[in-house]
């Protein structure tokens, strides 16, 4: 999220966690705070571990000047649907591609989740705003080092950077993998939907290859850049981008859960869309 000045970065790097903190558990699963060593850095991480067998590992990254707590409700719904979710509390300026590359290598080398169960083989890369840039950088490295493990990408109102399209193309592989994106109306917080041209070109490449690996939707007027955060958002997002409303937040979370479920199972998503969400042509 492109908000205010870079000086605000330090306000949101929350929750520096020690390794193996006591999990918070309920019937849907357990939320565990850990740290992950990535190169020379030790990064706080938040894991959502479903009670049953996980269908896939979904890395869901927060946006610029945000933290994992802003994605709490969305992550919990994904966990309740059987996804294992991982979020890093880390700076997301420019999508932090170096950190994304380091995480990809760590995930490929790691066998177990914090509760001792095996990490799922299939990995979905997902993110909001600058976190979506992180997600495609993560996916591009996975495509390079372990392509069989990359299931596809979920992007929530991405804000594109210089390498966004190159990394997006690696994730898509000309439509062989699904890339599904939900966009708010153009606004300064999503750089006036500056990711759409790259998404459109990825769609066109998939169609030219006679594949249908891209689905894009636009939320109706009144939706905001921070709707994926919902009740976990804050005054900063409300001031800069508009306060998230319950209806579009529910729509986005319904899409996130449905898309992630289908992606984990290698299925094409249902084209029926919630509410007044519109497909992007």
Q: Residue 264: which CATH number?
A: 3.40.50.1820
Tens digits of residue pLDDT in 254-279: 999 999 999 999 988 765 555 445 45
Average pLDDT over residues 14-19: 35
Q: Count CB atoms within 10 A of the CB of residue 254.
A: 15
For the chain, the domain total comes to 1
Strands 150-156 and 179-183: parallel
Distance CA 208, CA 231 (A): 41
36 exposed, middle or buried (CB, 10 Å; 0-12, 13-18, 19+)?
buried
Quote the pLDDT of residue 216. Answer: 84
pLDDT greater than 60 at residue 186: yes
pLDDT greater than 50 at residue 158: yes
The answer as to whether 93 is a domain residue is yes
- Asked whether 260 and 154 are in contact (CB, 8 A), the reply is yes
The answer as to whether 30 is a domain residue is no
Please give the C-alpha separations between residue 182 and each of 7, 156, 199, 226, 266, in angstroms, as whole numbers: 29, 5, 11, 12, 19
Looking at per-residue pLDDT, the higher value among 2 and 254 belongs to: 254
Q: Is the sign of the CA dihedral 259, 223, 230, 199 positive or negative?
A: positive
Listed in order, strand segments (DSSP E) in the chain are 24-26, 29-38, 41-50, 57-61, 84-89, 123-128, 150-156, 179-183, 214-218, 278-279
Looking at per-residue pLDDT, the higher value among 269 and 41 belongs to: 41
The answer as to whether 181 is a domain residue is yes
Distance of CA 242 to the CA centre of its chain: 21
Average pLDDT over residues 131-147: 98
Structure tokens at 189: 């917080």
Looking at per-residue pLDDT, the higher value among 2 and 71 belongs to: 71
pLDDT greater than 70 at residue 4: no
Tens digits of residue pLDDT in 53-103: 999 999 999 999 999 999 999 999 999 999 999 999 999 999 999 999 999
pLDDT greater than 50 at residue 140: yes
Tens digits of residue pLDDT in 189-235: 999 999 999 999 999 999 999 998 888 888 888 899 999 999 999 99
The answer as to whether 27 is a domain residue is no
Number of Cα atoms under 13 Å in the Cβ half of residue 164: 23
The answer as to whether 46 is a domain residue is no
Distance CA 38, CA 143 (A): 19
Tell me the pLDDT band of 22, cut-offs 50, 70 and 90.
low
3-state helix, strand, coil in the chain (%, to 5): 40, 20, 40
The answer as to whether 80 is a domain residue is yes
Q: Give the domain range for residue 10.
A: 6-14+55-279
pTM listed for this prediction: 0.90
Tell me the pLDDT band of 280, cut-offs 50, 70 and 90.
low
Quote the pLDDT of residue 270. Answer: 64
SS (H, E, C) 229-264: CHHHCCHHHHHHHCCCCHHHHHHHHHHHHHHHHHHH
Quote the pLDDT of residue 279. Answer: 52
Q: Which of 130, 59, 49, 47 is nearest to 93 (CA)?
A: 130
Q: How does the average pLDDT of the chain come out, rounded?
A: 89
The answer as to whether 275 is a domain residue is yes
pLDDT greater than 90 at residue 111: yes
Quote the pLDDT of residue 26. Answer: 85
The answer as to whether 100 is a domain residue is yes
């Amino acid at each position: 999220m492109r908000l205010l000045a870079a000086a605000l970065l330090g306000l949101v790097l929350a929750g520096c966690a020690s390794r193996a903190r006591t999990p918070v558990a309920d019937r849907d699963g357990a939320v565990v705070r850990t740290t992950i060593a990535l190169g020379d850095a030790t990064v706080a991480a938040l894991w959502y571990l479903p009670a049953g067998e996980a269908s896939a590992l979904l890395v869901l990254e927060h946006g610029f000047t945000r933290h994992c707590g802003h994605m709490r409700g969305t992550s919990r719904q994904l966990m309740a649907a059987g996804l294992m979710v991982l979020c890093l509390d880390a700076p997301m300026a420019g999508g932090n591609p170096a950190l994304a590359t380091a995480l990809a290598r760590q995930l490929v080398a790691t066998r177990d989740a914090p509760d001792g169960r095996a990490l799922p083989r299939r990995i979905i890369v997902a993110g909001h705003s600058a976190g979506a840039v992180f997600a495609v950088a993560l996916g591009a490295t996975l495509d390079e080092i372990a392509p069989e493990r990359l299931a596809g990408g979920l992007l929530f109102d991405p804000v594109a950077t210089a390498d966004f399209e190159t990394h997006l193309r690696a994730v898509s592989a000309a439509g062989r993998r699904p890339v599904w994106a939900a966009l708010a109306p153009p606004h300064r917080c999503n750089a006036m939907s500056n990711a759409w041209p790259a998404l459109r070109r990825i769609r066109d490449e998939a169609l030219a290859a006679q594949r249908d690996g891209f689905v894009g939707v636009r939320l109706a007027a009144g939706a905001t850049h921070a709707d994926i955060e919902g009740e976990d958002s804050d005054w900063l997002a409300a001031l800069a981008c508009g306060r998230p409303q319950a209806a579009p937040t529910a729509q986005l979370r319904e899409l996130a859960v449905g898309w992630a479920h289908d992606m984990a199972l290698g299925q094409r998503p249902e084209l029926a869309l919630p509410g007044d969400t519109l497909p992007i042509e």
